[in-house]
Amino acid sequence: MDTYKIIPLPDDENYRHWKLFDDTYVIHYGEALDIFLLLGTKKALLIDTAFGRGEFPNLVNRLKGDLELMVVNTHGHFDHTGGNMWFPKVYMHKNAMAYANVPFEPLDEAWLANMPYPDYEMISIDDGYVFDLGDRNVEVLWTPAHSDSSLTFLDHKRRLLFCGDEFDAGQANLNTFESVGAFLKNCKRLQKREAEYDFIMPNHNGCPISKEYLTDFITAAQHVVEGVPDLVPTHDLPGFMHPICGKNGVRAQVGNSCINYLPEAPR
Ligand SMILES: [Zn+2]
């Protein structure tokens, strides 16, 4: 098994990891970033690569054992793709290809040069694709709203729904008013299939979460689309939309679920 030389950086954060099942790991980086490693009888599937910092590639190698590794991104945002260059090929939705390698801020050049696959192969996958891990099939669904490249993964064996940033317990960050409608459609589609999974697995703010969150998400998004949003004060919110458009988002909250979006409602 390869052991990669690591270049530590002063602001590296720590990893923790835990087993959800014998064949399912949550790898937690820093304060609020989870990625997932699913083991089959023949192959392993790594869902997202976080920022790829610190001991990341060696930790993944150790946990996967001798299994052949496949790597996939839930979407193209850099906190999910930053470690892609540790691997020769990465599966993603085609929309992610334009920005999967665009960092949030300049990267340390020595650290970047240490990554073994700067020109890794991007493999396009779309709705309906199935990863066969050996006695474990993981179905891909295209669920664009937070990002146009968002993929959700239905793990039929462990009955888990890995959703990236789309159905997060603490927030669903939707960058346009229109994306609230797309989000609503995705929620309804997934709720129709709720008999096939037990828990939702978002990448930030805690997992697993109950699939009942979808009911609240649907109500919250429905009210936004109908022009009667359940708005709550936003003074404590991070300005997550500012880099995109310079505008403040608003937050609608119903039950346990809340969505952040730009309030460009129909006139
Ligand atoms: Zn994201």
DSSP 116-170: S-TTPEEEE--TT-EEE-SS-EEEEEE--SSSTT-EEEEETTTTEEEEETTT-SS
Question: What DSSP element (H or E) covers 251?
Answer: strand 250-254
166 C-alpha to ligand 1 centroid (Å): 8
Residues listed for the chain: 267
Per CATH, is 1-166 categorized as 2.40.50.140? no
Nearest to 76, CA basis, from 53, 60, 56, 97: 97
Nearest to 56, CA basis, from 120, 9, 125: 9
131 C-alpha to ligand 1 centroid (Å): 22
pLDDT digits (tens, 9 = 90+) for 227-243: 999 988 766 655 544 34
pTM: 0.94
203 C-alpha to ligand 1 centroid (Å): 9
pLDDT digits (tens, 9 = 90+) for 124-137: 999 999 999 999 99
pLDDT digits (tens, 9 = 90+) for 151-190: 999 999 999 999 999 998 777 888 888 899 999 999 999 9
For residues 100 and 253, give the distance between their C-alpha atoms in angstroms, rounded to a whole number.
30
For residues 154 and 159, give the distance between their C-alpha atoms in angstroms, rounded to a whole number.
7
165 C-alpha to ligand 1 centroid (Å): 5
78 C-alpha to ligand 1 centroid (Å): 8
47 C-alpha to ligand 1 centroid (Å): 14
Within the chain, which residues score under 70 in pLDDT?
1-2, 234-247, 264-267
Where are the chain's structural domains? 1-166, 171-198+211-267
For residues 195 and 126, give the distance between their C-alpha atoms in angstroms, rounded to a whole number.
22
For residues 119 and 123, give the distance between their C-alpha atoms in angstroms, rounded to a whole number.
12
